[in-house]
């Protein structure tokens, strides 16, 4: 009984986090893009426009649930949830503090990546079921893109995994405590800089943000796969997009930036989640920055960039790092605790 | 279902179909099935699409992402401006022409004034010519700014559009101070212009000129300096010299294809013979060239405005005081270099108070005709940027 309650409480907390986070991220996106674009962003509803997103959510909730007459009813209805649920579940392996995680899994990282890779299925389904040419093209693009960028994303995560010797996020974060040479924080971003660059680019593509937003491509496909969706079904897709952004940024924080730990000083347990969120939001800010300033790739350029540049580079880096860590005693010493 | 499906789908091969004759009369019907027995898709791009710059409707035949054929379908913004002009007095027509090319109304107005003056033999004071040239250059810059921003939007970059608005607002303030309006000017009249430069506007223009260069460099760096952007522009939407000439393209689109033709220099009018400027040219005729040519033109604009404001002569701003005008019977044609190309007006008069017939040679209409050729062979994303690079204004195309 108490165990069931515990699980319920954890999932409830996750859901609250996800919703609050989604609302905050939408507000943040509007404000960040606004200031990047020499405008102000929302500032009418509530102090500093903070309640604008809440208003929008209420609007989405009260809208009529429309479905095109020619759409495939079943797939059309299911697709938003297939997009939303995996991105919700990907919160499971996130580590917010020394004792603050839903659960500790030996394969936590793998689980997160496996769950985010389910998203293209829902996107493709949404594109197909809408029975609209624009949606179909958008869905196809999204599927091709996310499947392709899944590979470098995973490969770039292997470097930190090798350094920590575990796929458990709790252990990966723990392996980044302390300092090298007395003053450099043991964050994996320093030795794994190349892997981090690949990770950053792939995660931008994985969350379908400019310059990789081909599946939405406002100026080409209007909104691509989400074209025919309205009301809260659209809201779910939107929420999933922001939740994915949070997840990839959070995983990046855990893999490369020491998770919840402050550099040089011991982190009090109560401060850990705030540090983690701050780091994650910094990552998200950089993603939004790119989104606000760059034009979009063309779909073939994007795919060939992935297959011909990112994958070989990250694959080569995995091999190189494995050799370095194995054969170079200094590095092996530095990596081992 | 009361309405029947409009596309019939006869069976052509085992399990595959191709759409039959299309409702909108796509000139080349889908070429059906290829070797892999995949179906071609006909996509209606527009008339409500964010990147067709208004209400353009393009039918594109797609094989996956690749555009096989494209055809523009026009007329969604037809207001009968040419016909309406037949029942307007000569001084009333510019009001209509402002609404033809709504991004550069002063060019249409000047074209009209030049045509009427040519037919009626009206002398224009030197200052009026200079004022017209000044206003046209200001307007050209404003129009090119909108093109730059929307072109960025077409390429997926949202930032340039909002950055150009900062510059354009300043510029429109200047134009408003002179003409009294931001878009629908009605400033250039047969015989001269409606009003002299107001006091203090000189300083306002100079204040704008002081920042215009910097702003343009910023915008150019943000868009043209971006590697992703250059990668997409180079080699796409190629329109070679012969095609450009065959389709009657003019303006920046023609010059990007390497044809050195600019009415301001070749058929001089207004103050242009007295001014010193260069005509930027392209080589390959791809999207990058069209971008570079237009940005080059903007730099020349700034140069021209400096000269015009420095050398502005003294004197009358209008030769005629009476608005009612009777034009002797006959016909004539005059053209100006609008931001989009050769904007010409062919006027036929029967000697009355109103034109007998007025025809607008709108450059964007001719530039748009090339989409059939230019879009085929590229991807959807290329089609969008190629269309954006042509700098079309639907108000002028549909009239």
Examine the pLDDT at B33 and tell me if it is beyond 70: no
Mean pLDDT of chain B: 84
Distance of CA B95 to CAs A112, A113, A189, B71, B175, Å?
Answer: 63, 62, 64, 32, 17
Q: What is the pLDDT of residue B6?
A: 47
When pLDDT is cut at 50, 70 and 90, the band that residue B321 belongs to is: low
For B73, other C-beta atoms within 10 Å of its C-beta total 16
Examine the pLDDT at B18 and tell me if it is beyond 60: no
DSSP string, B126-181: HHHHHHHHHHHHHHHHHHHHHHHHHHHHHTT--HHHHHHHHHHHHHHHHHHHHHS-
Contact B380 A221 (CB under 8 A): yes
| Residues in A touching B65 (Cβ below 8 Å) | 137, 141, 299-300
Contact A295 B166 (CB under 8 A): no
ipTM of the modeled complex: 0.82
| Residues in B touching A222 (Cβ below 8 Å) | 49-50
Examine the pLDDT at B13 and tell me if it is beyond 50: no
For residues B21-33, average pLDDT: 49
Contact B156 A217 (CB under 8 A): yes
As to burial, measured by CB atoms within 10 angstroms (0-12 exposed, 13-18 middle, 19+ buried), residue B167 is: buried
For residues B151-173, average pLDDT: 88
For residues B210-234, average pLDDT: 88
C-alpha Rg value of chain B to the nearest Å: 23
Q: What is the pLDDT of residue B145?
A: 92
Examine the pLDDT at B91 and tell me if it is beyond 80: yes
Q: How far apart are CA B43 and CA B34, in angstroms?
A: 18
DSSP run (H or E) holding B231: helix B227-233
Of A251, A240, A241, A238, residue with least CA distance to A283: A251
Examine the pLDDT at B372 and tell me if it is beyond 50: yes
| Residues in B touching A219 (Cβ below 8 Å) | 50-51, 153-156, 384
| Residues in A touching B387 (Cβ below 8 Å) | none
Q: What is the pLDDT of residue B32?
A: 54
Q: How far apart are CA A293 and CA B49, in angstroms?
A: 23
**Mutation site for B-interface testing, chosen from A205, A217, A298 by largest number of B Cβ within 10 Å:** A298
Distance of CA A119 to CAs A80, A122, A299, Å?
Answer: 10, 5, 19
**Mutation site for A-interface testing, chosen from B40, B158, B389 by largest number of A Cβ within 10 Å:** B158
- Contact status of B41 with chain A (Cβ, < 8 Å): yes
Return the HEC string of B7-58: CCCCEEECCEECCCCCCCCCCCCCCCCCCCCCCCEEEEECCCCCCCCCCCEE
Tens digits of residue pLDDT in A222-253: 777 788 888 888 888 888 888 888 989 999 99
| Residues in A touching B382 (Cβ below 8 Å) | 298
Measured between CB atoms, which of B154, B159, B381 is closest to A293? B159
Q: What letter would DSSP give residue A268?
A: P
For residues A137-160, average pLDDT: 87
Examine the pLDDT at A187 and tell me if it is beyond 80: yes
- Contact status of B387 with chain A (Cβ, < 8 Å): no
The 3-state DSSP composition of chain B as helix, strand, coil percent (nearest 5) reads: 45, 15, 40
Q: What is the pLDDT of residue B63?
A: 80
Tell me what percent of the residues of chain B surpass a pLDDT of 90.
19
Examine the pLDDT at A268 and tell me if it is beyond 50: yes
Q: What is the pLDDT of residue B1?
A: 43
Q: Comparing A97-101, B2-6, B117-121, which segment has the lowest mean pLDDT? A: B2-6
CA-nearest residue to A39 within chain B is B162
Q: What is the pLDDT of residue A41?
A: 86
**3-class secondary-structure state, position B91:** coil
Contact A220 B381 (CB under 8 A): yes
Q: Comparing A174-178, A197-201, B336-340, which segment has the lowest mean pLDDT? A: A174-178
| Residues in B touching A134 (Cβ below 8 Å) | 43
When pLDDT is cut at 50, 70 and 90, the band that residue A297 belongs to is: confident
Contact B152 A295 (CB under 8 A): yes
Please name every residue paired with A179 in a beta bridge, in sequence order, or none if there are none. A185
**3-class secondary-structure state, position A118:** coil
Shortest distance between the Cα of A227 and any Cα of chain B, in A, equals 12
| Residues in B touching A295 (Cβ below 8 Å) | 152, 155-157, 223, 226, 228-229, 232
The residue with greater pLDDT, B63 or B391, is B391
Of A29, A197, A221, residue with least CA distance to A127: A221
**Mutation site for A-interface testing, chosen from B381, B388, B389 by largest number of A Cβ within 10 Å:** B381
Tens digits of residue pLDDT in A301-310: 888 888 899 9
Helices and strands (H, E) in chain A, number of each type: 14, 2
Residue A152 half-sphere exposure toward CB, CA atoms < 13 A: 31
Contact B156 A295 (CB under 8 A): yes
The residue with greater pLDDT, A326 or A195, is A195
CA-nearest residue to B161 within chain A is A37
**Mutation site for A-interface testing, chosen from B2, B161, B224, B228 by largest number of A Cβ within 10 Å:** B228
Q: What is the pLDDT of residue B234?
A: 87
Query: Which phi and psi angles does A185 have, rounded to 5°?
Result: -60, 145
With beta carbons less than 8 A apart as the criterion, state whether B47 and B56 touch.
yes
Measured between CB atoms, which of A38, A39, A299 is closest to B381? A299
Contact A220 B231 (CB under 8 A): no
Helices and strands (H, E) in chain B, number of each type: 15, 10
CA-nearest residue to B65 within chain A is A137
Examine the pLDDT at B26 and tell me if it is beyond 70: no
Contact A38 B162 (CB under 8 A): yes
**3-class secondary-structure state, position B336:** strand
Tens digits of residue pLDDT in B290-307: 999 999 999 999 999 999
Residues 272-311 (A) with a CB less than 8 A from some CB of B: 292-301
Pairing of strands A179-180, B188-189: unpaired
**Mutation site for B-interface testing, chosen from A208, A220, A289 by largest number of B Cβ within 10 Å:** A220
C-alpha Rg value of chain A to the nearest Å: 20
| Residues in A touching B222 (Cβ below 8 Å) | 293
Sign of CA dihedral A226, A231, A236, A241: positive
Measured between CB atoms, which of B50, B223, B379 is closest to A298? B379
With beta carbons less than 8 A apart as the criterion, state whether B211 and B163 touch.
no
CA-nearest residue to B166 within chain A is A38
Q: What is the pLDDT of residue B12?
A: 45
Q: What is the pLDDT of residue B138?
A: 92
Q: Comparing A63-77, B241-255, B354-368, which segment has the lowest mean pLDDT? A: A63-77
Contact A295 B226 (CB under 8 A): yes
Contact A219 B155 (CB under 8 A): yes
DSSP string, A188-244: TTTTTHHHHHHHHHHHHHHTT-TTS-TTT-HHHHTTGGGTT--HHHHHHHHHHHHHH
Examine the pLDDT at B328 and tell me if it is beyond 80: yes
- Contact status of A213 with chain B (Cβ, < 8 Å): yes
Q: How far apart are CA B364 and CA B340, in angstroms?
A: 6
Q: What is the pLDDT of residue B35?
A: 54
Contact A296 B49 (CB under 8 A): no
Q: How far apart are CA B396 and CA B78, in angstroms?
A: 9
Please name every residue paired with B337 in a beta bridge, in sequence order, or none if there are none. B342
Give A93's contacts (C-beta < 8 A, 6+ positions apart).
A101, A102, A103, A105, A108, A109, A111, A112, A169
Shortest distance between the Cα of B70 and any Cα of chain A, in A, equals 15
Task: Domains for chain B: give ranges and CATH numbers.
Answer: 11-73 (no CATH), 85-114+121-320 (1.10.645.10)
Tell me what percent of the residues of chain B surpass a pLDDT of 70.
89
Contact B384 A221 (CB under 8 A): no
Helical axes A311-327 vs A133-164, angle rounded to 10° = 10
With beta carbons less than 8 A apart as the criterion, state whether A185 and A90 touch.
no
Shortest distance between the Cα of A311 and any Cα of chain B, in A, equals 19
Q: How far apart are CA A317 and CA A324, in angstroms?
A: 10
**3-class secondary-structure state, position B237:** coil
């Amino acid at each position: 009984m108490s165990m069931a309650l515990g699980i319920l409480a954890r999932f409830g907390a996750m859901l609250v986090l996800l919703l609050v986070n989604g609302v905050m991220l939408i507000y943040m996106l509007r404000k960040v893009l606004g200031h990047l674009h020499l405008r102000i962003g929302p500032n009418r509803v509530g102090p500093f426009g903070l309640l604008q997103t809440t208003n929008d959510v209420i609007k989405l909730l009260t809208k009529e649930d429309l479905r095109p007459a020619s759409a495939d009813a079943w797939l059309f209805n299911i697709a938003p949830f297939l997009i939303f649920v995996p991105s919700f579940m990907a919160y499971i392996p996130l580590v917010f503090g020394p004792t603050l995680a839903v659960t500790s899994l030996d394969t936590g990282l793998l689980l997160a990546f496996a769950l985010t890779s389910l998203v293209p299925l829902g996107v493709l389904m949404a594109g197909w079921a809408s029975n609209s040419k624009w949606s179909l093209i958008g869905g196809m693009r999204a599927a091709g893109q996310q499947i392709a960028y899944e590979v470098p994303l995973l490969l770039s995560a292997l470097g930190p995994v090798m350094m920590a010797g575990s796929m458990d996020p709790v252990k990966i974060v723990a392996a980044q405590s302390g300092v090298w040479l007395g003053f450099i924080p043991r964050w994996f971003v320093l030795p794994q800089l190349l892997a981090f660059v690949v990770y950053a680019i792939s995660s931008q593509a994985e969350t379908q943000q400019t310059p990789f937003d081909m599946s939405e491509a406002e100026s080409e496909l209007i909104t691509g796969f989400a074209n025919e969706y309205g009301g809260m079904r659209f809201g779910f897709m939107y929420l999933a997009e922001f939740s994915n952004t949070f997840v990839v940024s959070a995983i990046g924080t855990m893999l490369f930036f020491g998770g919840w730990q402050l550099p040089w000083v011991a982190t009090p347990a109560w401060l850990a989640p705030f540090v983690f969120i701050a780091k994650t939001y910094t990552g998200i800010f950089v993603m939004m920055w790119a989104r606000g300033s760059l034009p979009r790739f063309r779909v073939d350029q994007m795919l060939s960039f992935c297959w011909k540049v990112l994958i070989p580079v990250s694959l080569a880096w995995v091999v190189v790092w494995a050799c370095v860590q194995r054969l170079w005693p200094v590095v092996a010493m530095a990596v081992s605790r | 279902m009361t309405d029947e499906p409009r596309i019939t789908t006869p069976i052509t091969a085992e399990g595959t179909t191709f759409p039959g004759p299309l409702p909108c009369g796509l000139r080349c019907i889908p070429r059906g099935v290829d070797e892999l027995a995949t179906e071609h898709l006909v996509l209606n791009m527009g008339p409500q699409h964010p990147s067709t710059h208004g209400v353009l409707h393009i039918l594109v035949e797609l094989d996956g992402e690749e555009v096989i054929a494209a055809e523009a379908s026009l007329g969604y913004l037809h207001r009968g401006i040419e016909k309406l002009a037949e029942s307007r007095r000569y001084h009333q027509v510019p009001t209509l022409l402002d609404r033809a090319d709504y991004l550069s109304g002063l060019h249409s107005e000047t074209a009209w004034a030049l045509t009427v003056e040519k037919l009626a033999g009206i002398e224009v004071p030197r200052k009026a010519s200079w004022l017209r040239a000044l206003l046209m250059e200001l307007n050209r810059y404003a129009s090119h700014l909108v093109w730059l921003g929307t072109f960025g939007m077409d390429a997926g970059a949202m930032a340039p559009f909002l950055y150009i608005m900062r510059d354009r607002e300043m510029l429109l303030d200047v134009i408003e101070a002179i003409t009294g309006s931001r878009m629908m000017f009605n400033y250039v009249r047969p015989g001269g212009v409606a009003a002299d430069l107001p006091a203090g506007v000189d300083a306002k223009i100079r204040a704008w000129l002081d920042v215009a260069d910097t702003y343009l460099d910023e915008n150019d760096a943000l868009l043209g300096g971006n590697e992703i952007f250059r990668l997409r522009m180079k080699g796409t939407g190629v329109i070679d010299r012969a095609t450009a000439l065959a389709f009657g393209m003019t303006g920046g689109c023609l010059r990007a294809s390497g044809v050195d033709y600019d009415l301001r220099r070749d058929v001089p009018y207004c103050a242009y013979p007295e001014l010193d400027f260069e005509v930027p040219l392209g080589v390959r005729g791809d999207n990058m060239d069209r971008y570079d040519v237009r940005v080059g033109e903007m730099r020349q604009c700034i140069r021209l405005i400096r000269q015009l404001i420095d050398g502005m002569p003294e004197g009358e701003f209008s030769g005629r005081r009476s608005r009612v005008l009777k034009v002797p019977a006959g016909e004539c044609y005059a053209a100006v270099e609008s931001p989009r190309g050769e904007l010409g007006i062919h006027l036929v008069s029967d000697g009355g108070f109103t034109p007998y017939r007025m025809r607008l040679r709108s450059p964007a209409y001719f530039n748009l005709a090339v989409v059939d050729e230019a879009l085929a062979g590229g991807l959807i994303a290329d089609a969008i940027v190629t269309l954006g690079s042509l700098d079309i204004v639907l108000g002028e195309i549909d009239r």
